[in-house]
Structure 1
Amino acid sequence: MTATGGAAMQDALSGVRVLDFTTMMAGPYGTRLLADLGAEVIKIEPPDGDYMRYQPPVKNGCSRYFGHLNAGKKSIALDLKAKAAQEVVARMIANADVVIENFRPGVMARLGLGYDACAAINPRIVYCSISGYGQDGPDAEKPAYAPMIHAASGYDVTLAGYQPEEGPPAVTGVFVADVLGGLYSASAIQTALFQRERTGRGQAIDTTLMECMLNLLIYEIQFEQQPSNARRPRYGPLPTRDGHVIVLPINSRNFLNLCKALGHEEWATDPLFAAPADRVRNWDALMARIAEWTRTRTAADCETTLMAGGVPASRYRTVREAMEDPQLAFREAFSVVEDAAGPFRVVRGPYTMSGTSTAVRAHVPALAEHTEALLRDVAGLDAAAIARLRDEDGGVRFPG
């Protein structure tokens, strides 16, 4: 690809070396975003591999879930409880820019790899920790997985409705907290690297999944502090002949366009809907009338007719249908990566940049694939030292 004006694309994070101690989803997603931008991301896995290497969907023994999260990285396999492995990591930290981990708070410090220890080796290190509730405080050591955080933050109740009595909390299958945790961490890491250019020193970053989720709930947090009797319109699925559609008459122009598109221009002067406050007060009645129209048509016809009439609307699509969207193809939103089982598509970060490549790097690393090269090039070990680690089984796994 080339940037606007024909200049060759650059890697914005070229030369940045990241030691990635993370597993599961939040950390690996964040570090893959850094790899997309050109950082050298070194995935430090346990000898039996990251848990995600074995999670479905799997093809010929290769997890596509793992591949989506870890394309473009290098893999070294170390038993961090072994002294020899800890010594290897210390040598790598001396030559790294970023450390990122998502163990329970205190685990890295007990391994001798906490922020203070790493900063003593390399004062320029940017050290990011991802956890459920933070590195200290009364809840710091509570276990935390994304669905727990969704429930604890109020997110699931919000999805079900603004009044808990409207029904049970929503069931969520998408790990929103993990995606946000990775995204916010990648952003904070880049901010810290920028500040380091001014100060010469790194710093510690403490990302919490709980606060990630609360950052989604902007209206809800303000409503809890300043309750209002005013209803907030909620947009949801309306039935069609073959599925569902969402219709969003958000402002007065949208509403007038809706009346025309549906052939009910009399709604514009109906006392139930004439003013914005009237529409909000009688929102359920308005949605019911729209549903009478949508249920007689296909979802695609509803979307086409309403959008042509200036009414924001979309049919509900499957992920497979969304992946085939011509707009996404135009934007090259998917990159092809490859593991030992063959090529497959993954979505890149949700942005393009005029002078920076944002494509996902193509190679998915095999377990310990880069161990020997990293021992030599990053840890600075000579051939004899590498051979001793191979022979002594000192916590370092080699390929094969």
Structure 2
Amino acid sequence: MTDAPKAPFRVIDFSQVMAGPFCTRLLADVGAEVIKVEPEGGESMRGRPPVRDGASSYFGALNAGKRSVTLDLKSEEGLARARALIASADVVVENFRPGVMARLGLGWDRLSELNPRLVYCAISGFGQSGAAATRPAYAPMIHAASGFDLTLMGFDPPANRPAPTGMFFADVLAGVFAWGAIQAALLERERSGLGQLVDVALMDCILSMMVYEVQEVQFPQANPRHVYVPVKTTDGFIVTVPLSDKNFQGLRTMLGDPDWAKDPIYATAVGRQTHWAEMMVEIEAWTRSRSGDDCVAALMAAGVPTSRYRTVAEALTSDEARERGILAPVIDASGEFKVPNPPFKFSRSRAHVGNRVPEVGEGNDEFFG
């Protein structure tokens, strides 16, 4: 029996909840050995629903493929064990409020002396320095503070308050940016031989996503940006995008070249964008007496990009999801369930979720003896 291939690098994961664990799961997906450090009894996310037979699949989706050790970071023994792990590591990831790790003696300054090749990634709401650095920060707060929520509200003029938040875009973005930045720092280490601090801020991540809005603030436009709106069908909604000249010509042909489509205001892509809402009203006059599937079939056959609004369950059971292998089985203490694979594939190397969710402290004996 041959030994398992050695992991390309070791990651000590002090992070909790979402942004950090999302990052470190991606690192595990591409082959890193990720050792998750938890308090006695485990991270609080282990109790976050959905829970079945005592195991959280939410936690499992963020931590599959990792190892787990438990440490009391307020004790000398726990800190000594943490330092020993870090001395052998390539990467540390943490998402505590700035200053917490330093007070434990596990901040960047101390650890870079212990391990000069260490890449230390700190994820926080507003960065590691500055007036806002020590503010507590959760994703919904960042969505509000960044202008993201009010931007979305502006897309729906009748709205009189920002929409409720239920998805944590800032956390996921920060996790993805941290994942990429860590690998860039590891690549730079090949040249310099030295690690470095990687400082990822949720606020920066959300603002970087709003490409148009950041430019529009600097260069205000006379006409508001057009927005893509749902179009009513007999059994739900579709979104359709006759943006290019070719798309629009296909739409005209499919609809029998109606009079409204001959109006010069729709003759160019710029004109269609300016009068997008009016165009959608005309299209809806056709769609509202047809099913979503019939509308999608007709519009796509005509070369007009179109999709029905689907539930997550419908998306996960679609042909494209099965063909891509989006979901993969993993196992925890309560049995098998499925989680998304990383959203990219390599032609030669690994990009696949690990198949087990670690039990609390399952690696203690192996790593601490």
TM-score, normalised to structure 2, is: 0.96
Aligned pairs (5 A) from 1:18-29: 18-29=11-22
Distance 1:239 1:141 in 2: 46
1:257 aligns with 250
How far 1:274 sits from its partner (Å)? 2.7
How far 1:165 sits from its partner (Å)? 7.7
1:51 aligns with 44
* Partner of residue 202 from structure 2, selected from 209, 217, 233: 209
* Partner of residue 8 from structure 2, selected from 15, 27, 30: 15
How far 1:325 sits from its partner (Å)? 1.4
- Is 1:168 aligned to residue 161 of structure 2? yes
Q: Which ranges of structure 2 fall in alignment gaps of 5 or more residues? A: none
1:73 aligns with 66
1:373 aligns with 366
Q: Is the 8 A contact 1:267 1:274 kept in 2?
A: no
2:225 aligns with 232
Aligned-partner SS, 1:366: coil
- Is 1:187 aligned to residue 180 of structure 2? yes
User: Which deviates more from structure 2 when the two are superposed, residues 191-200 or residues 256-265?
Assistant: 256-265
Q: Is the 8 A contact 1:25 1:179 kept in 2?
A: yes
1:330 aligns with 323
How far 1:166 sits from its partner (Å)? 5.4
Distance 1:277 1:112 in 2: 58
Distance 1:156 1:251 in 2: 29
Aligned-partner SS, 1:215: helix
Distance 1:150 1:35 in 2: 28
Aligned pairs (5 A) from 1:77-88: 77-88=70-81
Aligned-partner SS, 1:206: strand
- Is 1:91 aligned to residue 84 of structure 2? yes
Aligned pairs (5 A) from 1:18-167: 18-161=11-154, 167=160
How far 1:171 sits from its partner (Å)? 2.2
How far 1:162 sits from its partner (Å)? 5.1
Distance 1:277 1:17 in 2: 51
Distance 2:81 2:326 in 1: 38
Distance 1:205 1:291 in 2: 49
How far 1:15 sits from its partner (Å)? 2.8
Residue deviations 1:276-329 (CA, integer Å, cap 9, x gap): 343233222111111111111111111111111100100000000000111121
- Is 1:284 aligned to residue 312 of structure 2? no
How far 1:157 sits from its partner (Å)? 1.4
The letter for the 2-side match of 1:284 is: A
Q: Is the 8 A contact 1:104 1:141 kept in 2?
A: yes
Distance 2:137 2:362 in 1: 31
Aligned pairs (5 A) from 1:241-252: 241-252=234-245
Aligned-partner SS, 1:307: helix
Q: Report how many aligned residue pairs link the two structures.
A: 366
How far 1:78 sits from its partner (Å)? 0.8
Distance of aligned partners of 1:167 and 1:252 in 2 relative to their CA distance in 1, 3 Å threshold: farther
1:178 aligns with 171
Aligned identity (percent) is 49
Q: Is the 8 A contact 1:14 1:37 kept in 2?
A: no
Distance 2:17 2:142 in 1: 15
Distance 1:40 1:49 in 2: 19
